[in-house]
Chains A and B, each alone.
Chain A
Amino acid sequence: MSEQDETPPAEGTTRRRALMLGAVGASAIVSIRPALAQTNASVINCEIPVPDAGRAGSYIAADGSVVPAGTPGAFPPATFAFKGEDVKTALGGGQLPGTTYEQSQAYVKYIRRLQSGTSGFTCFASLQMPRG
């Protein structure tokens, strides 16, 4: 029961819209994880290069997709990998260190497509439960 049927146009019709399969590393799916997940999202204690090593040198477009270097309106690769803590804050609405607001938004969209979402975790931190 899909609210809006996406069946592709019949074979042979002329109207074909563009479609990107995307890079091997750029996930096309974000899964909402249970709140207070025990398995600390890998994003917390890892470093995330933007873009990933496989596409060093490529630029990041405003919607987070990877585009050839020098594409107008896109951002150059980040000068250093972001810490997990920075990414968690950015995912919750903060800004990545050493970036302009627009740059940060593009990178966050790229990162969000790279790893699964962490449901409820950032909100839990704000319940200020002092950890023993």
Chain B
Amino acid sequence: MGRPVTDAMLLAAALRDPAGFTETFSPSPFRAFGAPSLSHREREGAREAKPSGKGEGDNPNPWTTLLAMARAEQLLGTLAIRLDGQPMPAAAARILADARISIAGQRRAALWEAEAARRALAGVGCPIVLLKGTAFAAAGLRAGEGRSIGDLDILVPRGALDAVEAALLAAGWEWVKPDPYDDAYYRRWMHELPPLIHRDRDRMIDVHHTILPLTARITPDAGALIADSVALPSGLRVLAPNDMIVHAAAHLFADGDLAGGMRNLWDIHCLLEEFGAAGLAGRARHHGLWPAVARAARLAHALYGTAIPDDWRPRAALDPLYRRRLAARDGWGRPTRPLLRQAFYLRSHWLRMPPAMLARHLWTKWRKGHRPT
């Protein structure tokens, strides 16, 4: 019956089954009815976190644990939407209500950033494809509900990069880090321009011309991504659903060190639930990203109970390692399992560039005082 769950799988359980979680830990009298779908280990783990006594020791209220994990994983807004209306202690309800107010403001600022980019780039006349969180919100998808949205990510044809760069600089954006090495590195090897930030609104924009670094061994078909993109009423575009899932999986496994992995995987869960998996395997293979998409689907199923085709289910050997890395967070919001995190950090760089270049890159970064935390 395994060790009780005290890592971020508790947050996954609350997102997967809000009623089950609140039934287990809210003070409501009708808790006895129906077997909550939380596994026994998950219930024991959270119950072990009883309200703490005075000072010494550390067994915080399960709600305190859940909220700290959700904040650290940028999922507090999503959790607030998922748990809306569930019975819970008044303080938890108030904190989640505040989160819903805050997330609505974030969503509006993110959608405005997309509109400001649209106006600034109207003269360039190339297709502008919104990516990630802003795309989910602009297209009104479930994946966008309650989602915290940081930078604006757009995909444009590689040929239009210079015109896009000039138009943004003219409209009040400026370079975040005017550092020549970064600049040359980005332009030559990365899949995006160096990040820009708007002078007045203090919001960042990342302009991509494909979805994986040029140096990565996998080269997705950027032309197809743009050609099959879908227009929104505003004239801005979003990727076709299957391409959204492929991009989310690519970002998670082929490019990233799994930072923000639980939120990224929740995006994939929502996209799969909303659009299903029809044609997804074929599209993923076309982009050379089938292994990443298959792994993402399996992990979404494991964490969030996503419905996936049966023949996608058999687990690959390394899946448990990915799960432990994704859930490496404690009740204080602290990252845990440092060695596992370091391994995935190095792997992400390895995947992004060939060995010789990786050495030079890390050497340059090390010399300039950038230490991986």
Contacts and interface: CB of A to CB of B under 8 A. Distances in A.
Direct A/B contact, Cβ within 8 angstroms: yes
B201 A34 contact: yes
Nearest to B173: A39
B35 to A, nearest CB: 47
Interface in B224-258: none
Interface in B181-208: 197-202
A37 interface: yes
A116 B199 CA distance: 10
Interface residues of B, number: 8
A38 B202 contact: yes
Contacts of B200: 31, 33, 116
B174 interface: yes
Interface in A21-40: 31, 33-34, 37-39
Interface in B355-369: none
A38 B174 CA distance: 12
Contacts of B201: 33-34
A34 B200 CA distance: 8
B329 to A, nearest CB: 25
A39 B203 CA distance: 9
Nearest to B199: A39
Nearest to A37: B202
A37 B197 CA distance: 10
Contacts of A38: 176, 197, 202
Nearest to A31: B200
B48 to A, nearest CB: 36
Interface string A36-51: 0111001000000000
A44 B198 CA distance: 17
A55 to B, nearest CB: 24
Contacts of B197: 38-39
A132 to B, nearest CB: 12
B116 to A, nearest CB: 13
Contacts of A39: 174, 197-199, 202
A42 B174 CA distance: 12
B27 to A, nearest CB: 37
Interface string A71-84: 00000000000000
A126 B198 CA distance: 25
A56 B198 CA distance: 31
Contacts of A116: 199-200
Contacts of A42: 199
A116 B197 CA distance: 16
B349 to A, nearest CB: 25
A34 B109 CA distance: 11
Interface string A1-39: 000000000000000000000000000000101100111
A34 B201 CA distance: 7
A130 B201 CA distance: 26
Nearest to A41: B199
A32 B198 CA distance: 14
Contacts of A31: 200
B316 to A, nearest CB: 40
A31 B200 CA distance: 7
A42 B202 CA distance: 13
A127 B176 CA distance: 25
A121 to B, nearest CB: 11
A74 B277 CA distance: 72
Contacts of A37: 202
A123 to B, nearest CB: 16
Interface of A: 31, 33-34, 37-39, 42, 116
9 contacts: A33-B201, A34-B201, A34-B202, A39-B174, A39-B198, A39-B199, A39-B202, A42-B199, A116-B200
Interface of B: 174, 176, 197-202
Q: Give the 8 A-B CB pairs with smallest separation, nearest first.
A: A37-B202, A34-B202, A31-B200, A116-B200, A39-B197, A39-B202, A39-B199, A38-B202
Given A31-B200, A34-B202, A38-B197, 15 more contacts: A33-B200, A33-B201, A33-B202, A34-B201, A37-B202, A38-B176, A38-B202, A39-B174, A39-B197, A39-B198, A39-B199, A39-B202, A42-B199, A116-B199, A116-B200
